[in-house]
Structure 1
Amino acid sequence: MDTVSSDSVGRFLTVADTADLLNISTAEVIELVRSAELPAIHVGSPGRWRIERVVLEAYIDGKYEESRRMGLWRQANLASLPEVSDGAIVRPSDA
């Protein structure tokens, strides 16, 4: 169960909050931030990153969309593979 609830944090999440919500390590969150895959702002002393809640939600939505598209791409590629019938390859255009 999440230890961070929507009501317990405000507009900005810490790296630890974000890691908890995504169920990954803080090091993984920092890598996502440093690679600019997950936008964040640097606040205060070194190492103090904040991730805006709506940005994290958009990131998660984007990951769902990426997964959906990869699934469709895999389906399309599988549909274009030749079938094997009695040891002979039958291409979709030959059927």
Structure 2
Amino acid sequence: MSPSPSPHPTLGRRFVPLSEVAEMFSISSSQAYALVRSGELRAIQIGGRRQWRVELSEIEAYIERAQEATRLLVDTEGTSE
């Protein structure tokens, strides 16, 4: 009997393709690539076709940075009234 597929397709993997990152964030592939180009999201190119891959821990770090930036923005806007 084979194991049932995981409900979380990223479990057990260290890297995900940039297209999957775009899906996670509900943005276009171009927007995901722009995050890589700007340095906001670190990624590597691997394989014969040099496809972009993002480490799952980097995705978590990016989310944490975005949450902190949002918190600071909200705190700053809240004190300027």
TM tier relative to shorter chain: 0.7 to 0.9
1:26 alignment partner, one of 29, 44, 64: 29
- Structure 1 length-normalised TM: 0.70
Q: Distance in 2 between matches of 1:68 and 1:51?
A: 25
Q: Which runs of 5+ in 2 are unaligned?
A: 1-5
Amino acid at match of 2:15: F
Which residue number corresponds to residue 66 of structure 1? 69
Percent identity over the alignment? 32
Greater CA drift, 40-49 or 60-69 = 40-49
User: Which segments of 5 or more consecutive residues in structure 1 lack a partner in the other structure?
Assistant: 79-95
Query: What is the 5 A alignment of 1:1-95?
Result: 7-9=8-10, 10-45=13-48, 47-78=50-81
| Higher normalized helix content (fraction of residues) | 2
Alignment RMSD (CA, Å): 1.7
Q: Report the 3-state secondary structure (helix = DSSP H, G, I; strand = E; otherwise coil) of the residue aligned with 2:80.
A: helix
Question: Which stretches of structure 1, 4 residues or longer, exceed 6 Å deviation after superposition?
Answer: none
Larger gyration radius, structure 1 or structure 2: 1
Question: RCO (CA 8 Å, sep 6+): is it higher in 1 or 2?
Answer: 2
CA distance in 2, matches of 1:74, 1:11: 37
